[in-house]
Chain A
């Protein structure tokens, strides 16, 4: 009797301890998942992945890592209701797909880059090197295509049978849900609304993404790395592009779908979406910083006088910085290699992209809202 009792008490105690340990862990994750901590961490992770690509892409390292990640990713579904709700929302299933497929294909690409870069160093041929080796499309290609089609059909049918497409209540023009979210593939842009006004987040930035993508082949004059996987020969191009794609596009989509709740407040993965939570906003503009904080006075009434610090800063960023960058050896070399037009097109697109993280850091460290604030003419940057 005594034995039994103490045994079950022991179990109880152990159980209680486990719960708190788990709670502590969840709390820890919630606290560290806010953008100001997690985005820099994702960036470090990305840089680590690219500079350490020769090591971790070995299958013997990659697959166990992927396995652990998968277990952790899905393992928390039974352990946490909020997390389960987010992950199991039908329209969020594509996000999980995107995460896993992107990781897998990033590996597949970098793995081949690692092999190729090594082979080039030791004078062995590239994986893709088979100039003389042509095969007929029938059967080699058409059968692969047929198989891919069959496989894709099977996956799509299973997915469709198992998971109903979402359908909510009939449209009610008077009753917006909270949060109101754009389709998931635009949530990176909606996340930009936290840091920019709609004319930037919804029009200028996406416009420049499209323009920049289209201009890319005409800007990138590096003749190397054409038609085969490599990282070593195209470090700057790959890192810049991947920063835009992985961090500013994909990670922000994950934030927007998984972690943005009512009123677009940020919630950790294990936090319940509380629609009454009010996040205090005490944002200030560059003009406030200059006239009020630094000079200790009041804002001037004339718009242009008031905003000159922001105008100067922006002018510096968009016009002077592309030129000043050429003083750095690396960019100077690019400038001579690429010529005037190409270099400045690239540099302006580059600083526009970099404005995004700069404004984020400004927000996180000093509650910066606008660099230029001219609500009089709806021009806030």
Chain B
């Protein structure tokens, strides 16, 4: 009976319009399963056995990617209820806490972000220990380094959004550093060297690296909006693009590394 239903679903026009191959049971249909699916075809059809052993990759790159997706989904849900304005930001978070389901979304989003950072570090450590940055994978390592920076920036920009004491002071400490950027920061060495003719300084409290970061001389309204846009749009788009490049390059570089 059940088998009959399953069979008739499988033979229906709808099913076969979506999945253009039979049940992946033999070599041909298994190859088809990978090749005819836009998501799965990121994978090569066949891989080295040792390359996919858990003890080789620790699955850390995969988990980083999965956490990135989990962050995207939970983040979009949070965006429905959160307003990046000083008057509302904190109270929106408080209200979200009260509503149980969304409360958990915030937890998932925050813990997931921490987990993603740890995962990306461990992934880097694995790639380092297996020497997988060596030719021909040098460039993909560089792409990875940019992804590493983006992952931390994602978390850093998100840290401000709840607009509580933890948030603004952590970002204040972080942005103090920008103030000290050599040549470009208000308190950085070498800033006096940058002058317009007539001795007009280029680097002022309203034109230095910290101002660029915070859109103000301290963490305030403008910084909140700036961090929000960076956190929800600019950095995720950049990261998603580079992840696509990263995966593409894994295949172009000959798949997961292994002894030559």
> Which residues of A approach B to under 8 Å, CB–CB?
91, 93-94, 97-98, 101-102, 105-106, 108-109, 112-113, 126-131, 133-142, 144-145, 148-149, 152-153, 156-157, 159-161, 163-173, 175-177, 180-183, 185-186, 189-190, 197-199, 201-204, 210, 213-214, 216-218, 220, 222-230, 234, 238, 241, 245, 374, 377-379
Contacts and interface: CB of A to CB of B under 8 A. Distances in A.
B37 to A, nearest CB: 9
A98 B44 CA distance: 32
A226 B137 CA distance: 10
Contact of B125 (A91, A105, A171, A172): A105
Interface stretch (B9-17, B111-119, B238-246): B111-119
Listed residue (B126, B137, B191, B258) with the most chain A CB atoms within 10 angstroms of its CB: B258
A186 B175 CA distance: 12
A148 B257 contact: no
A130 B169 contact: no
Contact of B190 (A220, A238, A379): A379
Contacts of B66: 148-149, 152
A202 B180 contact: yes
B181 A199 contact: yes
Contacts of B170: 180-183
Contact of A160 (B107, B117, B121, B257): B107
A167 B97 CA distance: 10
A226 B59 contact: no
Interface in B190-225: 190-192, 218-220
Given A182-B170, A183-B156, A217-B141, A113 B133 contact: no
Nearest to A141: B52
Interface string B121-147: 110011011111111011001100110
A250 to B, nearest CB: 8
A171 B220 CA distance: 10
Given A127-B50, A137-B34, A153 B70 contact: yes
13 contacts: A98-B121, A109-B129, A131-B258, A134-B48, A135-B46, A136-B31, A165-B107, A181-B173, A185-B152, A202-B178, A203-B178, A225-B130, A229-B130
A97 B47 contact: no
Interface in B36-62: 40, 43-52, 54-56, 58-59, 62
Contacts of A224: 131
A295 B8 CA distance: 97
B164 A378 contact: no
Contacts of A199: 180-182, 185, 187-189
A370 B89 CA distance: 42
Nearest to A381: B189
Contacts of A223: 134
Contacts of A160: 104, 107-108, 111
Interface of B: 24, 27, 30-31, 33-34, 40, 43-52, 54-56, 58-59, 62-63, 66-67, 70, 86, 90, 93-94, 97, 103-104, 106-108, 110-112, 114-115, 117-118, 121-122, 125-126, 128-135, 137-138, 141-142, 145-146, 148-149, 152, 155-156, 159, 162-170, 172-174, 176-182, 185, 187-192, 218-220, 257-260
A159 B104 CA distance: 10
Contacts of B106: 165
A136 B173 contact: no
B46 A156 contact: no
B62 A148 contact: yes
Contacts of A213: 145, 148
Nearest to A200: B180
Contacts of A163: 107, 111
A165 B110 contact: yes
B259 A203 contact: no
Given A109-B129, A128-B259, A167-B94, A186 B156 contact: yes
A223 B103 CA distance: 51
B169 to A, nearest CB: 4
Contacts of B260: 226-227
Contact of B128 (A137, A157, A241): A241
B50 A171 contact: no
A218 B136 CA distance: 11
A198 B177 contact: yes
B152 A129 contact: no
Listed residue (B27, B115, B177) with the most chain A CB atoms within 10 angstroms of its CB: B177
Nearest to B167: A171
B54 A176 contact: no
Nearest to B31: A136
Contacts of A144: 52, 54, 59
Given A98-B121, A171-B163, 18 more contacts: A108-B58, A112-B55, A135-B52, A142-B34, A142-B43, A156-B70, A164-B103, A168-B164, A186-B174, A199-B189, A203-B188, A204-B182, A217-B133, A217-B134, A217-B141, A220-B133, A229-B130, A230-B131
A18 to B, nearest CB: 37
A164 B33 CA distance: 41
A145 B66 CA distance: 9
Contacts of A197: 180
Contacts of B30: 136, 138-139
Contacts of B34: 136-138, 142
B164 A157 contact: no
Contacts of B90: 170-171
B125 A152 contact: no
